[in-house]
Structure formats: structure tokens, C-alpha cells
Structure 1
Amino acid sequence: MKNIRTLLIFFFINLCTISAVWAGGNHLLPLPQKYVPLHTYFSLDKVSLSTPVLQQEWEDLVSEMGGTIAAKASCSIEVKLLTSLPEVPLNQDEAYKLEVTKRHITVEAVTERGVYMAMQTLRQLSEKKNKKTLIQGCEILDWPAFRIRGFMQDVGRSYLSFEELKREIATLSRFKINTFHWHLTENQAWRLESKIFPMLNDSSNMTRMAGKYYTLKEARELADFCKKHQVLLIPEIDMPGHSAAFIRTFRHDMQSPEGMRILKLLMDEICETFDVPYIHIGTDEVKFTNPDFVPEMVAHIRAKGKKVISWNPGWHYKPGEIDMMQLWSYRGKAQEGTPAIDSRFHYLNHFDTFGDIIGLYNSRIYNADMGSDDLAGVIMGIWNDRLVDKEWNMILENNFYPNMLAIAERSWRGGGSEYFDKQGTILPTDEKSEIFLNFEDFERRMLWYKEHQFKGYPFAYVKQTNVKWNITDAFPNDGDLSKVFPPEKELSDSYTYEGNRYEVRPAIGAGIYLRHVWGKIIPTFYKDPQENHTAYAYTYVYSPKAQDVGLWAEFQNYGRSENDLPPLQGKWDYKGSRIWLNDQEILPPVWTATHRVKNSEIALGNENCVARPPIPVHLNKGWNKVLLKLPVGRFKMDEVRLVKWMFTTVFITPDGEKAVEGLIYSPEKTK
């Protein structure tokens, strides 16, 4: 009965928040659980400050927002630490109450973490007007639905600079992301310095980005940096699999007696270095040859005062043998008595720019509305198994910041629809539906931050909720990808072909999956996509003037963990995709990668549309016709491991920064 009451409170507060935020039109992200606008402003000039915690942080925040602190002032900021917040159903340590009136700001929380979360909300409520900082008046009661809300960077494979990691942690903490999972070791390299075994970091023992690693001093600094931003740091030392770098160095398998002796000494050094509660030990994708390895390593690390996290599927633990598990595959299952982190279908290295963010934003974490003792939350993973040699592109092509803002809101707010189920990656065409309106509002707020906070950052997303298509039923092509069907000759609302009727249905979005990279697990435009078929998509784009613009177009988003071959010159992909603008065919760019033998150490080139300059095209004044031909053969091919039957098409400014203003995308030409 208590759980039912909690759920009812949760859903009621969510409903109140949605209507309140729409009415206010602010850009809070994530949305608070409960928000009531007061239609007044607090003018931040001279303020008195009273706080039992985070004194320096408050002083820095007031200064950053343009105010000064005075002993006596007509406006005040007061922080109160309470023993509890009775209205909050869960995760009280990060919960807060915030009241902003004309002359007073009051923050109430149970811990300094809750105070920190309130400070991030205050940042988002502030705006500059006439050189003054104004903070929107409101009453907020807020808490996270899930206690783990994080991201993982696999630096074992692809090193990221120390400054970049700090930038990501600091930036995302402003959106209440509270966990950084640092995957430090892999087959390619052991990226954490060892004083006792310095040969681990020798270039000769690294097969990618040789010589790049983090010093123990940097590791300690990053742990302190995370604490300052109320972020949990989870270092991962992958064992006993993903350990070729270890074997190259010591000539011993981790599961051997000598390997275990070395690894225990390394873990002593690591546990002493990191002032953090958890150490992640991997245990996935490996054949266990020593049944004592995992229990012995867990016991050793626990004896050092650390809790242990492990991947699932991985080693089979009995209840109590592990402190937390992280689910990485659709086969991963939460286990009663052991808190679970959901990372299934949360691998950004597989995601495209526009389609997957819709599914991510709408999904429920482990099909639950909120966390529990057994469900801790979610971590987004980036696994650049393939070389992506430019740090900028590692962030850009994984659509890192837009996706993280989507999961920041979902993991804080909770709720969502069934996990990538029913709607999947497709927006509903009912623009008044709750799912559409929620995503449209999120997109509006996210793009506000792109303009105001992410300038100079790799952030490729542009508005897509106004991009509308007609898509045909798929015609059987019998394996002939060049076969011509009626839409190439004339566009219509429906077609008759070889005695069968083919309908046309609407779709919305700049990126549409006809079949997802994970097959039928993820719903897409076609409920039951079949091999050897050809689809067509078309739209009319109204331009208020004749203008030269840019075009993002792609028909196979290249995952950052596959060693797929680049397209052949003059071809968009291996499926025979084509695109016409005003009946003039648009040819693909010149591909920078030309190799014909698969190799994960040959970096991605300009295969993905966001990683290259936009294709220059001309829009006529008035209506412009866009037609896409979308054939597919077999869903498995030699050149590309994970076939994505999809398309991305959207007009952007020539510099690639924004969507072209004033365009109207319509499946039908209107006057």
C-alpha cells in the first residue's frame, strides 16, 4: 500500500510539473519534480548569505552570477540543513526545497549534496537583463528518481585528455549527473600509472595511443575534482578479461597464480590512490579458468575498505558476494539484494544523432518508474572499440552532450514509456500527444543550452521535431537494390504495384530508423522490417527565400565500435541509397577513408555526416521537393557488421551550427 501511495504522489507531482513548466516556458533541465512559478524576480546585486555548508561554493556562485555578498543587505540567501524532507519519497540525500521570492532565496536540504543540486537549479533560473542578474521566482520541491545518473568513458581503448574529462564532469554536474565511470584498462592499454610496475605504462605495451596514460597524481586530483562537483567516481580495472595489455607486460594471465599476485599488488596501489567507495572489476566477456579468481579478488579489494562493482552478464555471484552490478547486455538481469545499474541499450557508440535520442529520452530505466534498493540507476557508456583519433570527434560522433542531457532528465525525473518499447525511436505523428509534447519541450530546452552553454563544444544536434516525412510501404526488390519503383516516377498517397497496394504513412524527425541496429528489439518505423525491400521517403521544404544552405545526409550511421569499411566512392552506402533535391540527384561527398580491408586501427574518416562539412545545396524560394530512395538487401553483409536501414536528412546553416531558420517541412505542398 505504501508503494502504491508513493507512485500516486510521484505521478501527480510529475503532472503538476509538466503543466507548470509549459506555462512558465523556462529552460530548467532536468525538470524538477514539482515546480510552481511565483511570477516575480529576485534581483541579484548585494545579498547577505547564511549557510552551514558549501560557504565557498555559494560565494563563488554569487560572484559568477554577478552579485556580491554583504554583511547587511535587503536581499538574502539562506540555507538550512534539516533532518528530513517529509514530502520526498526517496533519495533524500540529493533532495531539496527551493523558494525564490522578490527579496529572499531559501534552500532546505538534508545533506550538502541536496544543497549542491539546489545551486545548479538556481544557476538555471538566472538570466541577465539590463546588466543585472534576475532569478525567476518559484517554489520547487525536487529529488532524483534514481540515485545513480552517470556516464562512462572507455579511455583504455581511446585516451581522452585529463582536461577533457574534467570539462565533462563539471559541465554535466550542472545537469545533476552524479557519477563518472572511468574504464581505465583494456586490451589496448593500461592507462593508469603504476609506480611499482612502471613497465605497464610503457609505449611498447600499448597498441593504441601509445604512451598516453594518467598519473597517480592526476587520478587523485580527479577524485577530488569529482567530490567537489558531488560526482561519484567509479574507477574500473577490467579483470580477468580485456587484459591483453597486462599479459603483454607480465607474460602471465591474470588468472594464473603469478598473475593474481601481481594484480593484488596493483590493486593495493589503486585502492590507496583512489579515495572513493567503489572499485569496478569488470569480469565480463571472458572464459574463467580459475574458479577462485573472482572471489579472491573481491575479498582482497573489500579488505582494503572498498566496495566492489561487476558487470552482468559476467561472473555469477550469490547474494551478498558483490556490492553492485552493472547490466551491459539485454541478457543482464537485476538480482534481488544487489543494487543494479542499467547500461543495457545505453551504448552511445552505437547510437545515431537523431533517432536514438528519441528512444533514450522516452525510455524507462530497467522498465521502472523510479529507483529502489535493488535498482540504483543508469550509466551511459562510450566504447570506441574502433580508433577515433580526434578527441573532438569522440564527443561529436557519439552525440555525447545531447544524449547525456536526455538521460540527465530521464534519470532525475523517472517515468517514461516502456523501455524502447512500442514507440521505440520514432516520434508519434500526433503532435498533441504527451510523448511528442514532452520531447518537443525537452528539445527546446536542450537547444537553449546548446546556444548559451555549449558554444565551442562538440554538439551537433539541431531541431528535428518540425521535420516531417511521408514514407511508403516497402516494395520487394528481390535483391536488386537498383530496381525502380513507382515513387521515382510520380509521388502519390498510395501505389499499386504488381497487383498489390502500397500505402504512404507520415513520420517526424531528422533521423528515421526503418530497422534498428539491434533489429526487432527496438521498434522502428516498420513493425516487421524485411530484407530485400526498397522504401521511399519524401517531403516538401518551404523556403522563404532563395538561399544556399548546408545538408546533413546519411544512410548508415557508422558505429564507433565497428571496423566497417567506408562506402565506395560515388556511393552513399552499400545499400544503394539515393537522394534528390528538386529532381536533381545529390551525390555523396568524397570519402576520406579508402581502405578495403577491415581494420579497427584505421580511424573513422568523414563517414558520419556530423564529422564532415555540410553538403552545400541550394533551396529555391517556395517549395522544394526532397525524395529519398532507401533500398536494403540482406541485414548482414561483409562490409558492414550492423546494417542500419535508416536515413538522416536535415537542412542546416553552411557552417553546420544551426537548423536553417524559417523552413517548413511538409509531406504535402500547401499554398
Structure 2
Amino acid sequence: MIRAFLLVFLLFSSTAFSQEKLNLIPYPQKVELQKGEFIIPENFKLDENLPVKETAYFKKSTAGMFTFSSGKKDEGVHLVNALFTPQPVIGQQKKEKYSIEVSSRGIAINSNTNQGYFLALQTFIQLLEQYKDSGKIPAMKIEDEPKFAWRGMHLDVSRHFFTVEEMKQYIDYLAMYKLNTFHWHLTDDQGWRIEIKKYPKLTLIGSKRKESMIGAYVDNTFDGKPYGPYFYTQDQIKEVVKYAQERHITIVPEIEMPGHALAALSAYPNLACTKGPFEPATKWGVFDDVFCPKDETFTFLENVLDEVIALFPSQYIHIGGDECPKTRWKECAHCQELIKKNNLKDEHGLQSYFIQRIEKYVNSKGRKIIGWDEILEGGLAPNAAVMSWTGIKGGVEAAKSGHFAVMTPGSYCYFDHYQGDPATEPNAFGGFTPLDKVYSYNPIPEELNPEQAKYILGVQANLWTEYILDFKQVQYMIFPRLLALSEVGWGTADPKNYKEFEGRVINEFKNLDKLGVNYAKSIYNVSGKVISSENGVAYELSTSQNQNGIRYTLDGKDPSANFQNYKNPVKISKSMTVKSAYFENGKLKSAISAQSFTISKTTGKKIMLEELPSENYSFGGAFTLVDGIIGNQKQLGKTWLGFQGKDVSATIDFGQKTQFSEIYFNTLDNKGSWIHFAKSAQIFVSDNGTDFKLIKEVGKEEILSVKGKIKVNAGLQNSKYIKVKIENAGIIPAGNPGADSKAWLFVDEIGVN
């Protein structure tokens, strides 16, 4: 057992400390505050027997706070002594188990492993940070271990590249908050970032692109600037892997296949189904040209994997497997012959064949594969683990069939989403994932019984970098959401007491400031929630700070002057713009948030959807379609509902017979992200909610002509119910990104005048 004793002989204090929570993130499983206190000395005398690497990290992390010296036990009183007797431990969580006991006599840290000792030091460092100014730590006993074995963060370096030193900083952030897995997304359509010595063209050609897409996807604009060449040499990879190992973090590399392969095909076009030529993608999204499942492709990938496996000692190798269009395979004679030869059902079966062949090779090297949940298509490879991102369905399916899964659903775990009001945030890919939503996530799906739940390895958040140009923006997108993720993964998140967690986050900002981290301050901003109220809607404002500091205006003007102090939800009785902000001692302390309302006869009314939206784009549920907010065409934040492969059928109850003549709603077109305008729309009316009469149809040509901004003149109507059916585009046709996949349909407000 590693047993580290921190001994200082002190006067015993009878001070009793309250049982309020400490400023620790993630919060330990068990904290028992006791009587007494430990006086923090200026000099730490470290025993020579302490684990060297972990203690060196401790000294570096507390540099400037204390001085250090070394000695032997018989030289008198020592602040740190160690009896190093490691014991074998089964299970990742048990390897990370530790305890800390603080008393007036000193501090004892106990663990069976270096890894547990290292994690204990992270807690100890946070305690020192919290109490260094007072000079004393309250007596306590901490018993701690994580709930989940996989607590991960991902970073995409293909769309935008980050230096070795920046990667080390990223790893340090994970270590500080007890995450133990770094998923390194090294290859994609827009760039190949790892040196493969057998195939030098991968970095010679695939590590650069002629320009990059900028702004919102719908703008379709580019910067005109060459990007790259950027890649990591194998020596640099080894350096980063070693750095992570010293912090007890496993790096899982990702080499994308069979899709997201344009950068590789640009270097070696013979691996495609067509002749090319190809170039690394300058746009974001999904592309039809993918690896062709022929022998030379598998030889290439096996050789690449040989070099990757030699660099990364991780148990799992991530092989991607997501968003692979089948267009080229459908048109490829070799692929069609392969389907017949192997009695495969279709191209989805061919993808399963591809993944299983790669898995067999990786298994032969003593490793396992993990892939995004699309690897379930056509049947899951025998020993594969699933990373469930499109929702929880993939993880549920894997666990029920006895396969391990890591839960990373976009609706909770995609940190490229907005975390505050999209109007006040830097441009992001879309979605809306604020701190409280991350904190509310439970990685164990309710559908699983206790035995099946054992197959959930843990949780991971992902940071895709289409709109993240530098490392300062990386910091902004992961903080403070990484703090919520750490507590979810540790298993001590308590969504019912979110405000308490929020207080610890705000306290932690002092440490992030000291480290120069560019964290998002959205937590200070005033957030608005539309709620149903009598005969309409109201706008409920809140902030992490004193509610009395909220000011707002209803005329669209700056709330610094001619404002109202917020007390109760603001009734929205007409079309208006509400601007709000948080003030402290009369000074503006937050961004100014603005929300425009367009009121119609459906606003705030009861609404029912026959099909639920995708989990990733469901913020606010069906009420989003009658909350009086028109969606921003450039920001897929919290004002749109997204449906993949599903039609929208919304029934709205006016409450009484109501006259109207105009119906309006918007749909989106963003083909690079598989989003297509609606195919058609139908309007129905009813007086009893059961028998509906069709009053208007809108065809595809009309929808295209108005670019998805649909206004329907239905003549004078008088009914109690209205039903709007909006038809999804269906299967994406050939020649479009994501061909042969289900299209997305995005819809905002359904208004009636």
C-alpha cells in the first residue's frame, strides 16, 4: 500500500467545522468533516521514499506556494513520509481509489497504486488552494473512488491543429479534474496529422489544405488562406504520450475509416473507388469519397495501424466508423462483387465487413477497437466497443448485446455547441449545451438493468474544431463545462443541487485565472426561459449571481439606462425585444442578452408532437414551436428542433374556436450537415381534435422558392385545433453529402395570424 503521512505536531484546536461542501471538483464520494485543524507549514519536508513522478508533479503544481526539502524518517518531524508497498488491484476504479485523513497531527494519504496516490494529490492541491490564505485546513476524512472507469475528453486536431505544448496543457486540464482518457482525433477529411513513415505522402499532401470555411455554414464563405502543413512527428507523439502517462492519462488515438478519408485519399487516390483526383476538404461536413474495401486498402490501413499501435500503448484504438456515405460503394463494381461474394445484405453489411476485418487485425496485435455508434450498422464486430454519440441508442444496443460502450451523446457531451446565448457567444457549430445540462447527464441509460449497466465504461465529451481557430478558443469551449463532466464521470454529480455545484465552479475560476485560462463566463450572464402563462408566454430570467442584480428593458434598448429591476417573469403580450444583463454595484458584469418575440395566435398554446425531435436538438421540447421565438438561420442553438429521418406532425390547441388566415414556419437547408428543406407541408383544421380537414398543401417547389421561409395563406378559418404536417426530405439523394442517409429536418416557430 502506498501510505503517505503528512506529519506536523500542532496544538489541537477544538474548532468544529460545518458540514457544508468543500470547494472540490469533482466532489469526493465521502467527506466527513471533524473537529480540529491542520496548520499549513511554509516548508514541506518530503521523504525520499515518496513515488518520484507523482511527487514531482505535486511540487510543480504548488510551486510558489511552499518550499520543499527532503530527508529521512529518523531526521525528526517530516511533513511527508511514505511507506511504499503497492498491492495488485482488479478494476480501473479500484486502481484510482484513495483516502485522505486530515487531523491536528497531520495529513495521511492512502492508496494501493501510484495512480490513486496521484488522484489524491489532485484533491490535496485543491484543499491547499482553498485554505492557503487562512493557513489551516479543517480536520476531515475523505474516502474516494470514481464510479466510471472511462472519464474522457476528445479533441479534433484535423480541422484545426494545436501544438505539442498546447496538447500538454490540454492533458494538464484533464489531470487537474481527474479525467483519465484523452481521445486524440488525428485524421479526417480536412487534415492528416500523424507521421506514418511508410506513407510519407500522408503528411506531405494530406496535412495541408488550400483554404478553410469561415462563418456560419449557410454563408458558404472561405478565408482564401492556405492551412498547413501541420502534423505531429512520431517523436512528438511519443513525447505527448509520455507526458500523459506521467499524469496517469491514457491517450486513445483515432484513425478514421472507412469514411472521413479525403486527406488520406488525396495522398493515395488508389485507395478510393474512383480515380480522383482528391484534395483535403476545405468545407466542413461529410463527403462521398471514402476508403474502398479492397485488399490494397486493407494493406495500407494495417501498415498505418502497425505504426499507430507502436506509438500508443492504449488498450483501445479508435477507428471512427461514423458518417460513411455508401454512394461510391453502390456505384463500385468491386464493392458490389464483394457484397455478393460474402453474402452481405447491402452496403451497410459491407461496412460491417470492413470494420470486422480491421478489428480482427487489431485484435491480432493484442488491442481492441472502439468506434462511433455507426459501427453497429450491419452488425457489430465481435469484440468492438461503441462510442455512442448520436444519442443513447447505440450505447443501449451495445450494452444489451454484451459490448462495452462509452456514452457521449451530442445533446449533453458536445462542447462545440453553444453554452450561452448564441447571440453573445463566438460562432459555434450549433446546438445548445449549457453547464447545467452537462451536469444533469446520467451515463447509465434507464433502459438497462444492473447487469447490462456494467457494460457502460463511462462518459466522454467531444470538442470538434471547425470553428475553433486557436487554443484560447479551445479553453473557452471546454471551461467550465469540463468541470461538470468531471463530476458526472466521478459519479458525484447531483443535478438537484446544481446551484451548489455552480458556486464551486465560480470559486474555481480563481484558479483558472491564475493559470491564464480563457474560460467562458456565460455562467454570469442572464439566461432566459420562455414559460407558459395565462393567455400566452412569460420570460423567466435568472443568473448564477444575486437575482436582484438583473435589469431588463422591453423596447430593445440597453438596460444600462431606463431599465426595470427584475422581480417576476416578464409577461410577453405583444411582439417585442427583451434585453437583460446582470449588474453589480451599478456596474455591468455580464454580456447583454437580447431576445426578440414574435407573438401570434399559437404563442403559448398547448402543442403535441407525434414524433419527438432528435435528442441533440430538442431543447425546450415541443413548446419551442410555440414560444414566440423565430429561429436564427445562422445559429442552430436553442430555437430550433431537429428531426433526423422523421416528419413533423404538430397539433396545436387554441383552447377555443379561433379565426386565422395565415400560417408560417421556417425550415433550414444546410446540406453539408445533412440538413434539407422540407419536402412538402400540409395544414389541417379540426373542432374536436380528432377529425381533421385538409385546408392547404405546400409543395417542394414553393418551399424552395421561398428558401424555407414558409407563409401560407389559407383563407379565413375558424377552428379550435390546427395540425401542421411537415414532410422530411427522406433519404439524401446521390451527389449530396451523406447520400443514402436520413436527412435532417429543422423547424422553428409555427405561427398563426
Give the shorter-chain TM-score range: 0.5 to 0.7
Task: Provide the residue aligned with 1:382 in structure 2.
Answer: 463
The question of whether the paired residues in 2 share the 8 Å contact of 1:33 and 1:142 is answered with: yes
CA deviation after TM superposition for structure 1 residue 212, in Å: 0.6
TM-score by length of 1: 0.64
Assess, with a 3 A threshold, how the Cα gap between structure 1 residues 142 and 633 changes in structure 2: closer, same or farther. Answer: farther
Q: Distance in 2 between matches of 1:24 and 1:299?
A: 53
2:27 pairs, out of 3, 27, 31, with 31
Structure 2: how far apart are the matches of 1:279 and 1:113? 22
> Partner amino acid for 1:551?
A
Written as runs of structure 1 = structure 2, the 5 A alignment for 1:236-251 is 236-251=254-269
2:77 corresponds to 1:74: yes
- The residue that corresponds to 1:257 in the other structure is 295
Say if 1:76 and 1:103, in contact at 8 Å, map to a contact too. Answer: no
The answer to whether the Cα contact below 8 Å between 2:206 and 2:263 also exists between their aligned partners in 1 is no
Q: What 5-or-longer segments of structure 2 have no aligned partner?
A: 1-15, 213-226, 273-290, 330-334, 339-349, 422-432, 546-573, 597-615, 618-629, 636-668, 674-707, 711-725, 729-743
For 2:593, which of 553, 573, 584 is the aligned residue? 553
Instruction: Encode CA deviations 1:575-604: one digit per residue, 9 max, x unaligned.
Output: 99xxxxxxxxxxxxxxxxxxxx98989xxx
Which of 391, 395, 406 pairs up with 1:333? 395
SS in 2 for 1:349: coil
Greater relative contact order (Cα < 8 A, sep 6+): 1
Amino acid of the structure 2 residue aligned with 1:284: D
Q: Are residues 120 and 156 of structure 1, via their aligned partners in 2, closer, same or farther at CA, if it must alter by over 3 Å?
A: same
Q: Deviations over 1:17-48 (max 9, x none)?
A: xxx99834531111111011234124234455
TM-score of the superposition, structure 2-length normalised? 0.58
Structure 1 residue 552, shift from structure 2 partner: 3.9
Unaligned runs of 5+ in 1: 1-19, 418-434, 474-493, 496-500, 512-532, 563-570, 577-596, 602-631, 646-671
In the aligned structure 1, how far is the partner of 2:296 from the partner of 2:583?
A: 70
Per-residue CA shift, 1:213-251, capped at 9, x if unaligned? 111111111111111111111000011111111111111
Q: Which string of whole-angstrom CA distances, capped at 9 and with x for unpartnered residues, describes residues 311-344 of structure 1?
A: 2122458677224221111242332422110011
Aligned-partner Cα distance in 2 for 1:599–1:317: 25
- 1:364 is aligned to 442
Larger Rg: 2
What amino acid is aligned across from residue 460 of structure 2 in structure 1? I
- State the SS of the aligned residue for 1:173: helix
Distance 1:239 1:154, change over 3 A: same
Q: Distance in 1 between the 2:268 and 2:670 partners?
A: 30
Identity of aligned residues (%): 22
Indicate the residue corresponding to 2:122 in structure 1: 120
Name the SS for the 1:350 alignment partner.
coil
Aligned to 1:297: 358
- In the alignment, the residues of structure 2 paired with residue 293 and residue 540 of structure 1 have an alpha-carbon distance, to the nearest angstrom, of 54
- Does the aligned pair in 2 maintain the 1:96–1:109 contact within 8 Å? yes
After superposition, the Cα gap between the structure-2 partners of 1:188 and 1:320, relative to the gap in structure 1 and judged at 3 Å, is closer
Residue 219 in 1 paired to residue 259 in 2?
no
Q: Evaluate the alpha carbon distance shift between residue 305 and residue 116 of structure 1 in structure 2; reply closer, same or farther with a 3 A threshold.
A: same
Pairwise CA distance, 1:293: 2.5
Contact 1:472-1:535 within 8 A present in 2 as well: no
1:182-201 pair list within 5 angstroms = 182-201=184-203
The residue type paired with residue 393 of structure 1 is Q
Bigger shift: residues 308-317 or 263-272: 308-317
Give me the whole-angstrom Cα distance separating, in 2, the residues matched to 1:119 and 1:543. 37
Match of 1:272 in 2: 310
Check the 8 A contact 2:162/2:470 in 1, yes or no. Answer: no
Q: Which amino acid aligns with 1:453?
A: L
Using a 3 Å threshold, how does the CA distance of structure 1 residues 510 and 128 change in structure 2: closer, same or farther? closer
Q: Is the 8 A contact 2:487 2:493 kept in 1?
A: no
Query: Structure 1 residues 260 and 128, CA, compared in 2 at 3 Å: closer, same or farther?
Result: closer
Residues 180, 249 of structure 2: 8 Å contact kept? yes
1:578-597 equivalent positions in 2, closer than 5 A: none
Shift of the 307–117 alpha-carbon distance from structure 1 to 2, 3 Å rule, reads same
Q: Provide the rounded CA distance (Å) in 1 between the counterparts of 2:748 and 2:510.
A: 31
Describe the SS at the equivalent of 1:196.
coil
Distance in 2 between residues matched to 1:309 and 1:90, nearest whole Å: 18
Correspondence 1:448 to 2:507: yes
CA contact (8 A) 2:54 2:114 kept: no
- Between the two proteins, the alignment pairs up a number of residues equal to 491
Tell me the secondary structure at the aligned position of residue 80 of structure 2.
Answer: strand
User: Distance between the aligned counterparts of 1:132 and 1:104, measured in 2?
Assistant: 17
Counterpart selection for 1:392 from 472, 483, 486: 472
Cα distance in structure 2, aligned partners of 1:448 and 1:636: 49
Give, in whole Å, the separation in 2 of the partners of 1:130 and 1:184. 41
Q: Write the distance in 2 (CA, Å) between the matches of 1:442 and 1:644.
A: 33
Contact 2:631 2:748 in 1 (8 A): no
Counterpart secondary structure, 1:234: strand
